[in-house]
A and B are shown apart, each in its own frame.
Chain A
């Protein structure tokens, strides 16, 4: 039997009790502080939102009352600014916010960028981007880049770089990063990129990772700029099927078909996803040019291709009545295999 003296046990119990007491005190104090903080922020917003409206819309000039004197006021002002930035596109209001933030909030964000807590640094990066403080904090941002950053910080920093660096440098920086982001993150970047960045991305297309390529093509389709059409068409001969399918999808989204002959090879593609995409693209082609191909696709072995071809023709009812049995039988197999590419 283990010999344990009562005194050791007593010490153990006292230590435990002390730990629990500290925990209890911390929880109570922390909760009270949080409650007080929330109340102070809400009270400020309620009492000052009218004055902020008047200032931001230019009715009045800045008064001393609107300069933050405490952390609560600063947080409340951030809340107010975020609502305006997210819901309004008025450039005057945005300039006022940026100007104010540059004078009275930038020093706080400067401090936060040096914080040992990554959550505080990340929040600072969010605000710098939202309030457009990249110029005021350019030196701090340069130094910040050399720190060891979390993945989220690196991504947020890339979003900031997107606004302040040239297209060529941005792509170079992105390629030099060890961190691999998700396709969705790359998509966010490209969707918010200007034409300079996109042109550089196209020039260095083969150096990009697969995820980056897919994201770039998706963003092009979403943006619907005709200028990228020739680039997308050049991808139709790419060896990677996923790129071809994404390029077709982007072309479909753009909605312009200049030379139908360029696409006809996909009518007889061995991949049902490509045949589906060409059936969709033919929605944007005059029927007299596309009808023969669509009629062929309407007899396709894949239910998805057939139904899309029919939709493109616009004679859905007549064809569906004849096709119903075959559609029902293989619709589930096709639907569940539809894959990520179509979403």
Chain B
């Protein structure tokens, strides 16, 4: 067999593999897009204020403990807490868990909300690092501050769960701002489900570039930073296309840790958040889903597109790199930890559809896509037959990489309307078309790096520099 023939066979095989992968991904994304379009279009014009007014009465709702883990968040923590206190919801308590901050986080909270020290409650059912002190606000009696030894976000959440007194808890990141009706709307599937929904995730939007004062978004708009705007488009695709569609079939393995709500009893039974993993939010969701399947109970994790949580996105390539690497590493850790569910009929659609999707498309995707990019370039310069094939693949990459994101902007217009200005929506749309040429290859490399780090057993997080989301800190 000549060398040329061997090369040809290898090239054909790789080409076929990439083509097969693209076919799987494009058909998955197309299905998700169609499902999301149908779902969001159906609810497009419904007057959602009617439902808010119903559930605002405490008789119709369930009380919620809101847990906010913070670590060195002095820049934005006051705004985050203010947004929690501004929430329209009949009965809540807010528990700030200061996870060993070394900056002025604790002092600023104590000062801003007139916190006084109280007797520390005894240890709860979840093991955590030591609690140092507990405070209660004199002006907001349902606002608590727990200071503890640093143990990570998962450990902080577990500490919050231990002192939470209500049957549901909402986890909110320390740098996030919740829209006024967020809690009402995220609780709705739980209230309507007679306890079948044991967790729900809300929609996360990029706050950079918004005008935020005293914990409220006063003027919505896009950041001038191209990297942030690209992330905004990406978030729209991930949440409105991906999670909406997967949520319809209870196949979500991820709901955002920035804004999610869970049944306390189920989380405690599942063992709380895992402290030895990077993606603790995803890992918990996977464990809850599997626990419900094992108990043969029809429990669901819902995704709700209405309620919005504004969060700070990385503004520099360096920080974004660390974030995406960590997210991908967390994803693989979680999937690997629960790998017994893969193709396991005992777990129903979760094992037979959701897990394979996450493994093939989300987890191993970076390897195949990166190989695809390199392949296309090499083929292009080979010329002849390969030239046409490389163009075909390029077309598919554009379709996969950009068109779906652009179409997701349409979903945004039909659902949350977070970007009311025409120029913002146009900017979002046209920037999303460029995704395949710069943003996607970049994030693919970082995700690939995350995969390598997982294989090498590395565990460190990387730090994200916070600028805070208030008028002082926001950058347009």
Contacts and interface: CB of A to CB of B under 8 A. Distances in A.
B403 interface: yes
Interface stretch (A54-62, A266-274, A312-320, A329-337): A329-337
A31 interface: yes
Nearest to A24: B429
B59 A187 contact: yes
Contacts of A218: 59
Contacts of A3: 385, 388
Contacts of A32: 422
Interface stretch (A66-74, A118-126, A228-236, A240-248): A118-126
A191 B57 CA distance: 12
Contacts of B429: 23-24, 27
A182 B61 CA distance: 12
Contacts of B395: 9, 12-13, 16
B125 A123 contact: no
A1 interface: yes
Contacts of B406: 20, 23
A27 B414 CA distance: 10
A104 interface: no
A314 B149 CA distance: 38
Nearest to A152: B46
Interface residues of A, number: 53
A187 B15 contact: no
Interface of B: 8, 11-12, 15, 19, 42-47, 50, 53-54, 59-60, 62-63, 122-125, 162, 165-167, 191-195, 264-265, 268, 385-386, 388-389, 391-392, 395, 398-399, 403, 406-407, 409-410, 413, 417, 420-422, 425-426, 429-430, 433
A120 B410 CA distance: 20
Contacts of A30: 413
A26 interface: yes
B45 A336 contact: no
Contact of A184 (B63, B167, B191, B421): B191
Contacts, number: 122
A211 interface: yes
Interface of A: 1-6, 9, 12-13, 16, 19-20, 23-24, 26-28, 30-32, 34-35, 38, 86, 117-120, 122-123, 126, 152, 182-185, 187-188, 191, 211, 218, 222, 328-329, 331-333, 335-336, 338-340, 343
B413 A4 contact: no
A26 B417 CA distance: 15
B42 A119 contact: yes
A328 B388 contact: no
A27 B425 contact: yes
Contact of A35 (B194, B409, B420, B433): B420
Given A1-B386, A34-B420, A187-B59, A182 B122 contact: no
B433 A1 contact: no
A182 B54 contact: no
A183 B425 contact: no
21 contacts: A2-B19, A3-B385, A3-B388, A5-B388, A9-B392, A16-B399, A19-B403, A24-B430, A26-B410, A31-B413, A86-B53, A117-B42, A118-B42, A126-B50, A182-B194, A184-B60, A184-B192, A328-B122, A332-B125, A336-B125, A343-B63
A188 B15 CA distance: 59
Contacts of B426: 24, 27-28
A30 B420 CA distance: 11
A336 B268 contact: yes
